[in-house]
Each structure stands twice: as structure tokens, then as C-alpha cells.
Amino acid sequence: MTQGYIAGGARASVRVRVAGDYAAINIKSGGLVASRAEYEYPIPLDQARELLALCAPPLIDKTRHFVPYGGFEWEVDEFHGDNAGLIVAELELDREDQEFPRPEWVGAEVTQLERYYNVRLVTHPYRAWSENERKA
């Protein structure tokens, strides 16, 4: 999948995503919190490609893997391009205090670390991270 950001600020981000034949525009509230409002609207593929051309480089390129574990489905994103080498696992829960089994392959909790947010990977890609930033 490829995605780019039309806007990314403290209050919200607006992104365009193309995944195969599916394209959408997405608005997500900002903040370093686990629960954020998110709205996604399908758009025609040709319009999404035009909008990607308006986005600040680099575009985010990643492969999303869906990994079932303990009755939950993890989204594991393997990044490419300027963010190659970064892998992030995410789990959507019904509520923040919901219990879930933690797979042994899941690393550190990074919800509160802004540099892991896709919108920030545009301005500070993984290839530019320091050794200390890569540790957590």
C-alpha cells in the first residue's frame, strides 16, 4: 500500500491511501493517545493517484500483513523505501482497557512515541533515526 499526507497537524491529519484497487481519503484526529477518531471514505483510484502527487514526499510505502493471534487480528506493517527496516504491529481494540494476549514477537509499546506515527515518518523517516531512536 502507498499513502501520503495532504495535511498533518497537531489536531488532525488527512491522508490518501492506495491499496491494490482500493483507494480512500482518511481523516484522523491527532494526539499521542491510543484512541483517536478516524474517518475513511473510498474515492476513485485515479483521483487518489492525483492526490498522492500533491502529498509531501516521501510517500509511505508498506506491506500490511494480517496476523491472527489469540482471537485478535494484528495489523503488522512492513515499511519500504525511506522507512525500510521498520516493522510496526497494531491491534484495534473495542476499548483502551480491553485485555488481549500479547504475542512473543511484539516488541516495545510505542503508542506514545510520535516518531512511529505514519504522518511523522514523512518528515522524519526511519532511515534518518538515530541508534537511540531505533531502540524503542
Q: Per-residue pLDDT for 32 more than 90?
A: no
**Tens-digit pLDDT profile for residues 49-93:** 999 999 988 999 999 999 999 999 999 999 999 999 999 999 988
pTM for the model stands at 0.88
pLDDT at 34 over 70: no
DSSP labels for 115-127?
Answer: GGSHHHHHHS-GG
The partner residues of 30 in beta bridges, in order of sequence, read none
CATH number reported for the structural domain that contains residue 25 in this entry = 2.40.320.10
Q: In the predicted model, what is the mean pLDDT of the chain?
A: 92
Q: Which residues pair with 11 in a beta bridge?
A: none
- 5 pairs with which residues across the strands? 15
Out of 5, 22, 39, 116, the active site residue is 5
> Would residue 69 show up in a list of annotated catalytic residues for this protein?
no
Q: Tell me: the pLDDT tens digits for 121-131?
A: 999 999 999 99
State which residues form the domain around 21. 2-135
The grid cell for 100 is: 488481549
Amino acid identity for residue 83 in this structure: N
Q: Domains in the chain: how many in total?
A: 1
